[in-house]
Structure 1
């Protein structure tokens, strides 16, 4: 059944165009927010008279709220409808962005960031659910060209835009920049966005919500704190152990309760499960490189924040290139070959970056980042499409919730791993040790994660993807004509 959008200025806006417009704008803001704020933290600390160690609450509050509300997103979409949930999340995120810009104290800013995290935690899973329902299986690769836009550009644009805004205006603008995008997306969504009714919501699963939210929040908090406080400190070990325990308990609970908040049986789908295992080390390696590479440029090569951000931007162009190439190659090669090629390409490029730390040259660094973005883009686009082709529509909300929980955990782990390796291997202050050695080891470790992803991608079944496409393809025969039977002797 095709969902039509309303008429705007005499023209009918399709559901696909409406969902794409709102999802891309909302996801762009949410993803960029994770990198743009980091650039502004020193200026925020100077304004509020707080040192660097006291500013962690700005990001931790956002991260914890994000973690708590990602698991809730699927149930809210089923209970109140995807349209209402998505627009409410977009309103919360936009409103909180404006409030953050007006904050007069660190406590107020932290509180507003929590509200922003609530909106951010709901935006991506609900938006992805709407995309999967708006686009039939056969058209989802074409939609990847738009879906990949925020994933590709937002993380790289955040430091560039944030550095420029802080240098030319003030830290308040890293939040104000969300307002025009959010308001326009909200107005567009109010007029054009259709609803995609799901199977309906069962009774609210209070234990599942508390366990999943607390578990994911504790794990993400521990991973965020680990590079600064150490993996053996109580501030890391206690929340990490508690978070893993909560997530183990919620897994048992959700598989046994009659009304689970997240139906984990979706993970029994072999194709969905395998692609998630591929995306986990890839996401960790990718976010680790995006964290490590600008830091290396600033500490060892003397780049400022703006120019290190510009040097990272070729990665976004590479991912955009991949998003255009994958739909053309998918039918001929299948997702498995593209995923293996993307993972192997990322291994080669990250190893090259490790070698370049000893003798860096801009003419090699810029193409390397472009090739990294292209390689990771090949893997991401192919894996995300393959992940959902065999997931029934009634379970898309559960699948997108799990995907976003995995994405947040993978990114936090990659950054924590890279930061820990650099901090622990750095030569003591005042010595003549090799300052590039820690970066070299960190890059090689991240390359090993990509190698794991490439090997796991070998388990993806091209046949299952092709069968799902054939089953979902519209019947070209005229209505009422009989499907031909098997040929004689077959």
Structure 2
């Protein structure tokens, strides 16, 4: 097999895998109303379907890279993909909310290995000189799949059944699995560092209890003893985890990286922006279907322009960064995002084309902010710490998405007439704007360095 064909197959497998992961994060949103009605649970309780998936995915990120190096990247990736396919089938067979939540957690566990292990295979195959060109290809699933999710999901819900939003993963996954088994070469690292068992043992119950509390809060309320006691246990365990990781010389999560100003500020912005965006993507389809009576497919079409805005932002990014610099670009794009999110909350009953225009604005403004923050976050991180930095950054973003969905679901659930009350959904959308406001406040603490700006301009132009 030629080197050119081998590289194409690796990219194909990676794109297919990441496309499924990215689409699964949003394809379920337009089906939550239907799922809730079929299982007889309130809209706020359906947040667990998304939260379980994202949390399970995030919890696998810290160990994925180590397992790939230790047991072989091909073997681990094929096992993860097989788990994802099997869990997708089980999700489609689920007969109640509890079963669906469990199978979504299993699905997320498989998906959590795709990005770290797949990226390590890509970086071992493509030289640094080839990566800028490569980035234009691998950004496709990240940009396009989340936007296609609501459209594909809406069509399947209306034309067939909500169960097909999970079954659709099976043929894509099987093709990727076959290509992987034939074309991908196995690779292990000769010397793999010890596994941070203590950190992992603390993170599992810590995150698990806290996330379970977040899942139950929209249903039972934050004043319920089961909710706040579990949340307290989770917070205490995570505080102990922080102490342990800071003392460990080879931690699972290298928290010392937060001493770097660029990484600290941009990671916090990544977390809060994920909370705002994923919260909005959860609330909007529920509101459009439950309160306004719009079909799942039409809801997906209304949300799709956000992807168009994101693509516009990716093209404008080099010019914008060169003209404005990182600080001004971030502050302007975040302020614009706050305005757009607020308008969405206030004018949800406007003409659908007005809403679609606002969705384009979300993609353009927030797309600028998120891309710029990712470029800047790793600017002063050394190469030996890059793997730890990307892991910590991704875990924080995923956790931000969970917090956003959980809190905004609680806002919806606080209204006893949530199924038809538009006001509750508007308040929840307003909460999304508040998360972006936290990004803006965080960015005000950032002190821009001239050399960092110049490096960003070069990276934006090449990427």
Aligned match for 1:21, one of 1, 12, 34: 12
Instruction: Say which is worse superposed, 309-318 or 460-469, in terms of deviation.
Output: 460-469
Q: Which residue is 1:7 aligned to? A: 2
Report deviation, 1:294: 2.0
Change in 2 beyond 3 A, CA 1:104/1:230: closer
In 2, the alpha carbon distance for the partners of 1:165 and 1:59 equals 18
Report deviation, 1:303: 0.7
1:373 and 2:328 correspond: no
Q: Which residue is 1:404 aligned to? A: 394
Q: Which residue is 2:252 aligned to? A: 261
Change in 2 beyond 3 A, CA 1:321/1:471: closer
In 2, the alpha carbon distance for the partners of 1:435 and 1:51 equals 18
In 2, the alpha carbon distance for the partners of 1:125 and 1:303 equals 38
Aligned match for 1:169, one of 160, 164, 167: 160
Change in 2 beyond 3 A, CA 1:342/1:80: farther
Change in 2 beyond 3 A, CA 1:61/1:411: closer
Report deviation, 1:258: 3.6
What TM-score comes out, normalization by structure 1 length? 0.80
8 Å CA contact 1:224–1:412 kept in 2: the answer is no
Aligned match for 1:443, one of 426, 429, 441: 429
Aligned match for 1:420, one of 410, 428, 441: 410
CA RMSD, Structure 1 to Structure 2 (Å)? 3.7
Q: Which residue is 2:177 aligned to? A: 186
Alignment of 1:328-407 (within 5 A): 328-357=319-348, 360-407=350-397
Q: Which runs of 5+ in 1 are unaligned?
A: 1-5, 473-490
In 2, the alpha carbon distance for the partners of 1:227 and 1:106 equals 15
8 Å CA contact 1:321–1:374 kept in 2: the answer is yes
8 Å CA contact 1:144–1:381 kept in 2: the answer is no
Q: Which residue is 2:150 aligned to? A: 159
Q: Which residue is 2:283 aligned to? A: 292
1:315 and 2:283 correspond: no
Report deviation, 1:253: 0.8
Report deviation, 1:237: 1.2
In 1, the alpha carbon distance for the partners of 2:68 and 2:77 equals 8
Report deviation, 1:185: 2.8
1:97 and 2:57 correspond: no
Q: CA offsets, 1:7-33, max 9 Å, x none?
A: 27xx4444xx55543333222212322
In 1, the alpha carbon distance for the partners of 2:18 and 2:258 equals 24
Change in 2 beyond 3 A, CA 1:266/1:200: farther
Change in 2 beyond 3 A, CA 1:322/1:139: farther
Q: Which residue is 1:272 aligned to? A: 263
Q: Which residue is 1:461 aligned to? A: 448
SS of the aligned residue for 1:389 comes to coil
Q: CA offsets, 1:51-108, max 9 Å, x none?
A: 3279787666545543442332232234235454334322321233244445678777
8 Å CA contact 1:343–1:379 kept in 2: the answer is yes
In 2, the alpha carbon distance for the partners of 1:257 and 1:303 equals 53
In 1, the alpha carbon distance for the partners of 2:84 and 2:259 equals 34
Q: CA offsets, 1:209-252, max 9 Å, x none?
A: 11112222333322232222212222321222222222211111
Q: CA offsets, 1:453-473, max 9 Å, x none?
A: 13433416353435657999x
Q: Which residue is 1:481 aligned to? A: none
In 2, the alpha carbon distance for the partners of 1:265 and 1:314 equals 39
In 2, the alpha carbon distance for the partners of 1:138 and 1:18 equals 19
SS of the aligned residue for 2:113 comes to helix
In 2, the alpha carbon distance for the partners of 1:159 and 1:234 equals 36
Report deviation, 1:181: 2.1
8 Å CA contact 1:74–1:125 kept in 2: the answer is yes
Query: Relative contact order (C-alpha < 8 Å, sep 6+): which is higher?
Result: 2
- Aligned residues between the structures: 457
Alignment of 1:79-158 (within 5 A): 79-101=70-92, 112-128=103-119, 145-158=136-149
Report deviation, 1:191: 5.0
Larger radius of gyration: 1
